[in-house]
Structure 1
């Protein structure tokens, strides 16, 4: 996705949200390279906390420590590409309608156009790919779009199906490293839902972070 607008200063919570969306987008767009797996291997969650997010970070760090580049490439291929198709279909239309290129994608493209986003030329997957949607959320946050806009996009295009996808990713036959990615994605989407619920109506309606 391309965006136009300079990024303002962000609150720490929003920086973290944007970073997690960007990380999920990177991991779901392609298999991680060595520098990313090295970074993930060094994650040390707060051991005094026992939350779905800290458990997910711990699992992701552990899986990254034992991952090999070739294994990750093969795993990603089997999960998302395959011969004809992968084990999983990481598209909103698939989860919402059972088919690709249906009405949810039309509505998504309309909303992306209003927001000023467009698909990059080198990207061949439809815009309802989970990686693209995570990229959009990260950009909405870092470009200073208000909470109301973030919540509208998330609730309309992500909330209704992403947790099912991340749960399927944890259980997929070919999922080893990516089982922890699914765990993180599911925990983060739950956290996002709770976070939006806790925002006051004034915070949402003001459009300010």
Structure 2
């Protein structure tokens, strides 16, 4: 949870066995506007602290990535994974940051372009991590937790967000074959829409047998 920079007693409600908040991730680099660390570092820390361990059983984890949270400039580059280290390698890329209270005063077209770049970075980072470190048993649910701000998508935009299930395991895909989802990462306009709580229940039911 790289964005958790204060005490979070509510975590007990969710029943997590362990919570790795900002202070426990070992980041020694600069923040990028609101995001305390780049998504690539957060995933590198997840690999080091949990996923890459050889002394564990099956793992279910929630990783809240923050690089696509406003404000969205600057966006760091995707570094070679062996350069990530403690995050200090990001220092040269953290200049010219905009304060939170000024992000909405800029040119709307520039703000939208910044948002697109940050989203591209976040997704590119995640899928690069999956391709490099994922094995045949990995299942990733990629979920947008809320829609962008009205300045980005307009006042009349809907509140739907995309959900993707990424895996090499065909048996996993067979379990959800009846959902009417489309192969690929970009849902078509005809994709089924459901509340998040319905997806949660449906997902758990599909694999609770």
Could you state the TM-score of these two structures normalised by the residue count of structure 2?
Answer: 0.29
Structure with higher helix content: 1
**Higher alpha-carbon Rg:** 2
